[in-house]
Structure formats: structure tokens, C-alpha cells
Structure 1
Amino acid sequence: MSTVLAGPLAGAAHVRPDGWLATPLTTDRTQAEAQARSLIQRQHPTVPGPVRCLTARYRTATFTLGAPPRQLLKRHGDEAAYLGEALAYQLLATERVLPDLHSTCDATRTLMVDFLDDPADIDRTGGFEELIATVATIHTAPARWPQAVSDTMAPWRLATTMGEPAPGWIRDAAAWRRLLQLTAAAHGEAHVPLGHLDLKADHCRRRVDGHLALIDAETLRPDLTGLPDLITLAYLAQTEGRNLPPRAVRQVYRRCINDRGAQWSDADLVTALAAFADATGLRSLHGVEQ
């Protein structure tokens, strides 16, 4: 299902072995910064300087631009991750749930976005509920897509995928079909099931317009439904010290997503959660189904 660390999705998500990336990026910050300056001169010549390396990892590197920082350059070593993040910005362009995108470059696998340094405190009163509402906004974004985007994403509509064989990584094809049918009943067969966000407290930032935004959108996929994110929210509500029981997470999520056009009943949502676990081999639903 995924290449990210398993965490709350243990059993359904798997870690790739060391050395899987054919052309890893340098982890030397000085070298990474020099490479970024060269890329900017060739591909993004109008961006503000100076360039400062924030992170240098074998898969991704990030750099602030300007003093004080105004924009962020993100470079991907993995083409699939770059394409996934670029797609996320295109699919969520009008929702105000990500930093604003300024430019992309396929040749260098780089994106230029607003630099958001203001944390969105999800520990404050109502903060976690705001995060749940943001996730629900993302899950229902396909209902608000312009026609051109909707037409481009037609191959991922449930009306199409429900008639196709289950993906190779699915362990129980019948459970997978049951999950898709329940999702179609709640969202409609024209729905594209967005999901699989990299949800962490330190990925929640505040946009200049005040909205909560999520950074690191490279994991978003148009074929998994929103269930992995609901499960992750329940996990976060327990592991990061928040006083929100898993059942309450499900109830807030159902209210938020139904307010945005879905029609989930609580019984169907619980059944869908169980179907996702059966289909993928997920080891725990972290109490969100109770």
C-alpha cells in the first residue's frame, strides 16, 4: 500500500528496504544547498534569495528562500513521490488546505510553495476538531472539482474501480469490494476516493489566511478512500496526549464529512472501517470502530 513508515497503519503499510531508491539525494546539507542554488538558477530564476537548507534526506530535501523565509523549495529523489505531491496540489488547489503552490518542475522534481512557519496548535481547545474538519474537506474535494479536473480523474472514479480486480496488495478482495461499495453509497459512484495523508502534529501549519494547512502532501492517493486517515486521526488522538476518545473522533469526522456532502451513517462507517482492516491486513483500528 505505501512506502511510508507503518505507524498507525501497521500491517497495511510497509517500509521499503534500504537502498530501494536508485538515485538518492545527498544527505550533506552544504552539498544539497549548492545543488539547490544551481537548480534555482536554471529552473526557478525569479525566486527570492538567499537559499538555506532545512533538511537533506535521501528521498527529499527542503530549502527556505528569502530572508526572512518567504517560500520553500522541495526536491524529491523519487519521481513517484514528486508526481504524487504535484498531483495533490492540483487536486486541492481551491480548498486552502495546503500551502500555496508557486511552481513545479518535472525535470528537477522540485516544487516551490509558500513557507509556513506558524504551527497550527492542535492541542488547543478545538484544535484537533479543526484538523478533523480539514481532513474531511480533503476527502470531499472531488465533489467540488472543476469539470476539467473531474474529467482528468475519471479513471479513478468508484464507478470504474468497483468493476476492476482488487489491487495486488489487497489481501481480501471481497472486503475491498465491500469497502468501495460502502464508500460509493456515502459519496456517490462518481467519487474519487482521496486519502492517505501524512498526518502528524508537526505537519499542521497555519496559512496567512488563518486556515489550517497540511505540509508534506506526497502520500495522498486517489484510490484508497479516506479510511486510513480516520484511523490515523484516532491513533493521534491517543498517542499525542489529546483528550478525545476514538469514538468521539469518528463522530466528529462523520459530522464534518456529512456537512460537506457525504452521507455516511455511523453503522456503515464502522462496517467500512472493519472492511478496510480485513482488506489490507491492518493490525489495529485503534478503537475508532468501537
Structure 2
Amino acid sequence: MSTTLAGPLAGAARVRPDGWLATPLTTDLTRAETQARSLIHRHHPAAPGPVRCLTARYRTATFTLGTPPRQLLKRHGDEAAYLGEVLAYQLLDAERVLPKLYSASDTSRTLVVDFLGEPADIDSEIGFEELIAAVAAIHTAPRRWPQHTAETVRMWCLDSAANSPAPAWVREPTAWRHLLQLTAAAHGDDHVPLGHLDLKADHCRRRTDGCLALIDAETLRPDLTGLPDLITLAYLGQVEGRTLPPRWIRQAYRRHTNDLGAQWSDAGLVRALTAFAKATGLTSLHGADQ
């Protein structure tokens, strides 16, 4: 796991030092744009033009394609982040919670997806509950996977995790195993525990069909459970001028996940949140356990 110390998961994450990426991308917008044109020509020939650089960071770069923008090229400097995002598109294809994926290139670590320029307002209860519903759909997606997908990711099922050593970043293995047991009680032993979305207001956009979508899925992991995302939702409900009660957020999350096949009790969800904090060293649950 990794995040900033001041973020919603402070204490539960290991912060990577500066310079950890062996082959960083250029941060010069003009140079990044020139490189993108070459990569598109070789790996995404069907993508529209022209190409315009939106962001050029050492880990990722993004480019609009078309005038007005119709698609987005995303380039990763980190192979794990690229593979994580491709995995997210594969595992969540039927959920309609991400932009449409047009093409991906393992060689260049690039993806071409729909450009979603319209923000989704999450400041009201109605808008924020739409975000909660999208997160719930992601966390329960394994229930709706076709058999070939379920078999492919069998190694990440809860019953396999329960019989394996706790991850190296877990501080309290006993609490971690308790968390897995609680999650299995709610989702089933064969559940793949998807979680760790990069939830931010700016990542909430409108698809062309009007539904809320998340435009950044590179952090999604199939071994963390959905608890980090519920904690982040509680945090988001109290920042940037929002005053959404954490208890309301937890109850809405439980309702939406249970509507999609989970069997969380409120007491079980609180115990799972507490177990996650104890297992990982999380400094605050932001009221999600109250």
C-alpha cells in the first residue's frame, strides 16, 4: 500500500521515497506530447487526433485525443500501476463504473479510454450516495463475474488468503485474520476482496449515459478488502466543505453492498473497520466506526 501521510489512510500505508521509480517519465509537456504521438502511432493506431498533453508527471502522463476531446491516453511509468489499471478494467467491465476502455499496450504501458470531462457533484447526499453505490458495485463485482474470470483470479479468494501468511505490511496478523473472517462472513469464502480505490472528488465524472464513473483505477487491488474505501468515503464526507455524517455513510454503504448480495450487519462492519485499523496501524477511522 502507499499513500500520503496526511491522507485518509494515514498510518496504514507505507510511503515510497523520492526516486523509487527506476525509469521516470518526462515532466516536460512538449516532450511528453511528442512521445505520446509516437506511442499512439505504434500501439493505438485507431485513436483520434490531435494529441494534447494534460498532465506530465514522473509516474503518469495523460493526453486528450480529438477536438473536442473524445478519448484519453494514459501512460504509466510504473509497470505495477499499469497492470493494476488494466486489471481493474478487466474485472469491472460489466459494472459501468469506469470510462470505456478502447485499447491497451503492455509494451508502452498505455491505455486509451473515454474522455470524461463532466464532473459528478458529490457534495450533496444524493451525489455522495451515488459515489457510495459505485464503490459498493465494485466491492461486490466478484459475485457477478463469469466463471472464467472467477477461475483466473482464484488465487486471491478469501479462503486462500486465510491460509496464507499475512502480508509483510500488516502489523497485527491476528487482527488481519479477524478482518478476513468478518469479510468472508459477509461475502463468502470464495470472494475476491477488491479494494483500495483512489477516491477523490476530482476522480468522480459523468459518463455519456449520465452515470457516475471513477476515472482513476490504477490503485485497485484484489487482496485488500473494501474497508480502505469505506474509510476514505468517511474522510471525503467531511472535507472540502462537506458535512456528511460518517454513520450515514457507513449505513448507506452497508445498504448498497447488501442490495448487491453481501450480508454485512452493522455490528460486523464496525468490527471489520476496527480490525483493519488494528491490523494496519491506521491512525483514524474518521468516525466510520461510530
Asked whether 1:144 is paired with 2:161, we answer no
Q: How much identity, in percent, do the aligned residues show? A: 75
Q: Does 1:3 align with 2:2?
A: yes
| CA apart distance, 1:14 | 2.6
Count, aligned residues: 289
Give, as a single letter, the amino acid of the residue that structure 2 aligns with 1:5.
Answer: T
Contact 2:3 2:10 in 1 (8 A): no
Q: 1:43 — aligned with what?
A: 43
Q: What letter is aligned with 1:217?
A: A
1:116 aligns with 2:100: no
User: 1:88-123: CA deviations, max 9, x gaps?
Assistant: 000000100000000000000000000000101112
Q: Which residue identity lines up with residue 20 of structure 2 in the other structure?
A: W
How far does the alpha carbon of each residue in 1:22-67 deviate from its partner, in whole angstroms, 9 at most, with x for none?
A: 0000000000000000111111112110000000000000000000
AA matched with 1:278: K
SS of the counterpart of 2:74?
strand
In the other structure, the counterpart of 1:184 is 184
Report the equivalent of 1:20. 20
Q: How does the TM-score come out when normalised to structure 2?
A: 0.98
Aligned to 1:244: 244
Shift of 1:125: 4.7
Task: Provide the rounded CA distance (Å) in 1 between the counterparts of 2:197 and 2:56.
Answer: 22
TM-score, normalized by length of structure 1?
0.98
CA distance in 2, matches of 1:84, 1:132: 22
Q: 1:125 to 1:249 in 2, by over 3 A?
A: closer
The residue type equivalent to 2:3 in the other structure is: V
Paired residue for 2:53?
53
Superposition pairs of residues 68-79 of structure 1, within 5 angstroms: 68-79=68-79
Unaligned runs of 5+ in 2: none
**What is the identity, as a one-letter code, of the residue corresponding to 1:115?**
F
8 A Cα contact 2:82 2:110, kept in partner = yes
Aligned to 1:32: 32
Q: Deviations over 1:230-276 (max 9, x none)?
A: 00000010112223111111111111111110000011100000000
Cα deviations by residue, 1:169-215 (Å, 9 ceiling, x for unpaired): 10000000000000000000010000000000000000011110001
CA RMSD for the aligned pairs?
0.8
- Give the SS at the match of 2:148: helix
Corresponding position of 2:135: 135
Report the Cα offset of residue 216 of structure 1: 1.0
Which secondary structure does the structure 2 equivalent of 1:52 belong to? strand
**Any stretches of 5+ residues in structure 1 without a counterpart?**
none
